[in-house]
A and B are shown apart, each in its own frame.
Chain A
Amino acid sequence: MCDSCGCDDGSGVTITRLVPGLADHHHHHQHHKFRTITLETEVLAKNDALAARNREYLRRRKILALNLVSSPGSGKTTILERTIRDLRGELAMAVIEGDQQTRRDAERISATGAEVVQVNTGAGCHLDSQMVARAIEQLELHDDSLLFIENVGNLVCPAMFDLGEAAKVVIISVTEGEDKPQKYPHMFRAATLCLINKTDLLPYLRFDVTACREMAAQVNPDLEFIELSAVSGEGVGRWYDWLRQHREGLNT
């Protein structure tokens, strides 16, 4: 009997457990040839390939897709509700909502009248490019529009999964502590724009906006910042200008 696989070419019973999905065990007994094959495949190759397809589709239709990432509760949905209400006469906007459970955020967006699809990831802690591809199929998207993708509230793995967006927008609220950029450098490194939200609360807190920007700049010198409050509306004009400018940038 062979030690490594338990096969037996003598008398008696052979019990062979086949590894699911693998070819049959051939019994030409010069037996057990091992070889090493070089793969060099990117672990995220499938996600990245599908993300590239999403990106190309969106680019052709001149749709600016933004991947909104943050810790839970920083105000992503509130910012979207306000943005849609303020810009709906000017720009077509659609939303993909990612949460582990519930349709609550999609219902909030739906109440503004915008196109929205909810993706529930179950145990999953991030959106991937396939979920987004399926959501895009279900949405009625307009050419020359905006597509907001609200990722699952999590500052860790959404940094790794390309969805096909034009840019990642990281949101940090002033109740979170100014050192978030250094604690979660991957996300701040991957982002193009950082929204510092809930500035209406600054008088009650000891959040140092300058220190926060400096810490973020250390991990990503190219990161842009906009301070705003989705509740009071302070600073939202600069966010809207950023959106207009990047949407128009797709025309050239």
Chain B
Amino acid sequence: MHEMSLALSIVEQTREAATREGAVRILEVEIEVGCLAGVLADSLQFCLEAVGKDDGLADTIFRITEVGATGNCRVCAATFPADSFLVLCPSCASDDVSLNGGRELKIRSLTIED
């Protein structure tokens, strides 16, 4: 359950940023999760809500955005969306595909009340 450690880390970093900004309340936290980051968005959502509740952020909205990856075929140069490490090129069926993006795991932004 690494989603739990990630949730703890997100809440901790959110809190630090909010304190730095002099916020009185955190309304929303926007999180970006790549489809190849090894994180289950549903599970992370569940953990964030559980950790948030225990940590005075029961009303904070944790909004997770999933971002995709792009495959580039090294044989025919086709570019296509990819959502796993095991992809075949849709044009030529080669498995010689390089993957870009999809590893994101970031806190994008906070909406706070001053």
A33-B113, A38-B108, A124-B5 in contact; A22/B19 too (CB < 8 A)?
yes
Would A22 and B18 count as touching, CB distance under 8 A? yes
CB-nearest residue of chain A to B18: A22
CB-nearest residue of chain A to B111: A36
User: Cβ of A219: which chain B residues have Cβ within 8 Å of it?
Assistant: 85-86
Chain A min CB distance to B55 (Å): 7
Would B113 and A186 count as touching, CB distance under 8 A? no
Contact with A along B72-114 (1 / 0, CB 8 A): 0000000000001110000000010000000001111111111
Chain B min CB distance to A151 (Å): 12
Q: How many residues of B contact A (CB 8 A)?
A: 40
Would B38 and A159 count as touching, CB distance under 8 A? yes
A160-B2, A218-B95 in contact; A22/B23 too (CB < 8 A)?
yes
Contact with B along A181-203 (1 / 0, CB 8 A): 01001100100000000000000
User: Cβ of B109: which chain A residues have Cβ within 8 Å of it?
Assistant: 36-40
Contact residues, B1-29 vs A (CB, 8 A) = 1-2, 5-6, 9-10, 13, 15, 17-19, 21-28
Instruction: Give the segment of A41-49, A142-150, A231-239, A241-249 that binds chain B.
Output: A41-49
Answer yes or no: B57 CB below 8 A from chain A CBs: yes
Would you give 23 A-B contacts (Cβ < 8 Å), ordered by A?
A: A4-B25, A5-B24, A5-B113, A19-B56, A22-B25, A22-B26, A23-B22, A33-B113, A33-B114, A34-B112, A35-B112, A36-B111, A37-B112, A40-B108, A41-B107, A43-B105, A43-B106, A45-B13, A47-B9, A125-B2, A161-B5, A186-B85, A218-B86
Give B residues with C-beta under 8 Å from A.
1-2, 5-6, 9-10, 13, 15, 17-19, 21-28, 31, 37-39, 55-57, 84-86, 95, 105-114
